[in-house]
């Protein structure tokens, strides 16, 4: 039987202008190295082909830099996309209904960084909208955003316990969390601020690698980080994990995902996601009778 795919009435294409994206003389990111998106020429050709095949309504999307801590990024991205969309409409006659500015608006992971001013960013986008889209008669185009990191990143922490210490060529503190719980430092070498509970006012005079238990040497939450003296049993708080923890979690090395607890404004807390159990881990295996004999600790 032959099935033919049908082009949806509403469709969006991603634009990648290539090159290096700069603000003033500062390099923000390298879109030319990204696997995503059409070149400008491909974008125009793609719109024409999709229109011929039945698409009626169009959108454009772009993501040129990640985690920018500057109020200038979104307005600059908006200007690039708005000008491109005006050209697209004139060249193809396509009915462009929305522009997706995507994400890229970052958060201050280090204590010395100044956070973005979302109101200033919004005002900058509004100004470019009125300068570019209004004169082109495109004042009905909707603007979409994807600010998951900005909205959730600062409002989650990973709390982990120091359970090991090792003194070799470096000083290591092993914790009961690993990259399963927070992949970002292992994947990108990204910085997440760490504090030791009860030692907020202690001098940070010890240099540690804070490590997890995966059999990968990049399973590290911090490298050469200056912290107070850490003793086994201390609780470490890894900050700004709200956008990267469970959402990026996985089960490598047979690790089970941790519970999630919601801390409320009144100081109370609530378990909103229980920890995984071995039974959860094996739930998709159909070839083991062992599952029928496993005891679920949450039903004991």
Residue 224, domain CATH: 2.40.37.10
Separation between Cα atoms, residue 67 and residue 192, nearest integer Å:
13
| Per-residue pLDDT, 133 | 97
Alpha-carbon dihedral sign for residues 74, 75, 76, 82: positive
Of the candidates 194, 196, 192, 172, the residue with the CA atom closest to the CA atom of residue 184: 192
130 and 204 share one domain = no
Read off the pLDDT of residues 104-163 as tens digits, 9 standing for 90 and up. 999 999 999 999 999 999 999 999 999 999 999 999 999 999 999 999 999 999 999 999
20 and 146 share one domain = yes
Query: Is residue 100 predicted with pLDDT exceeding 50?
Result: yes
Read off the pLDDT of residues 240-294 as tens digits, 9 standing for 90 and up. 999 988 888 899 999 999 999 999 999 999 999 999 999 999 888 876 666 566 6
Domain that holds residue 189: 156-276
pTM exceeds 0.85 for this model? yes
75 and 185 share one domain = no
143 and 164 share one domain = no
The confidence band for 15, taking pLDDT boundaries of 50, 70 and 90, is: very high
Total residue length of the chain: 300
State the CATH number of the domain containing residue 75.
3.20.20.10
The confidence band for 300, taking pLDDT boundaries of 50, 70 and 90, is: very low
15 and 99 share one domain = yes
198 and 146 share one domain = no
Percent of the chain with pLDDT over 70: 93
Is 24 part of a structural domain of the chain?
Answer: yes
């Amino acid at each position: 039987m032959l099935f033919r795919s049908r082009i949806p009435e509403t469709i969006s294409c991603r634009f990648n202008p290539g090159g290096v994206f700069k603000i003033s003389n500062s390099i923000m990111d390298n879109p030319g190295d990204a696997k995503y998106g059409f070149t400008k020429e491909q974008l125009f050709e793609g719109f024409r082909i999709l229109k011929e095949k039945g698409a009626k309504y169009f959108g454009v999307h772009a993501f040129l830099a990640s985690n920018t801590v500057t109020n200038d990024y979104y307005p600059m991205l908006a200007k690039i996309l708005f000008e491109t969309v005006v050209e697209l409409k004139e060249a193809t006659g396509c009915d462009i209904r929305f522009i997706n500015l995507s994400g890229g608006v970052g958060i201050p992971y280090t204590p010395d960084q100044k956070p973005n001013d979302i109101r200033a960013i919004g005002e900058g986008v509004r100004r470019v909208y009125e300068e570019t889209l209004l004169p082109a008669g495109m004042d009905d185009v909707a603007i979409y955003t994807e600010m998951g990191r900005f909205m959730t990143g600062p409002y989650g922490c990973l709390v982990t316990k120091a359970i090991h210490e090792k003194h070799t060529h470096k000083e290591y503190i092993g914790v009961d969390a690993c990259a399963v719980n927070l992949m970002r430092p292992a994947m990108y070498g990204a910085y997440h601020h760490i504090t030791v509970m009860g030692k907020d006012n202690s001098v940070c005079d010890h240099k540690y690698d804070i490590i997890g238990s995966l059999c990968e040497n990049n399973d590290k939450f911090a490298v050469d980080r200056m912290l107070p003296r850490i003793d086994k049993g201390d609780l470490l708080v890894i900050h700004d994990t709200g956008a990267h923890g469970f959402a990026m979690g996985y089960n490598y090395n047979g690790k089970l995902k941790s519970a999630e607890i919601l801390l409320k404004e009144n100081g109370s807390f609530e378990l909103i996601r229980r920890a995984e159990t071995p039974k959860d881990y094996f739930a998709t295996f159909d070839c083991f009778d062992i599952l029928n004999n496993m005891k679920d600790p949450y039903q004991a």
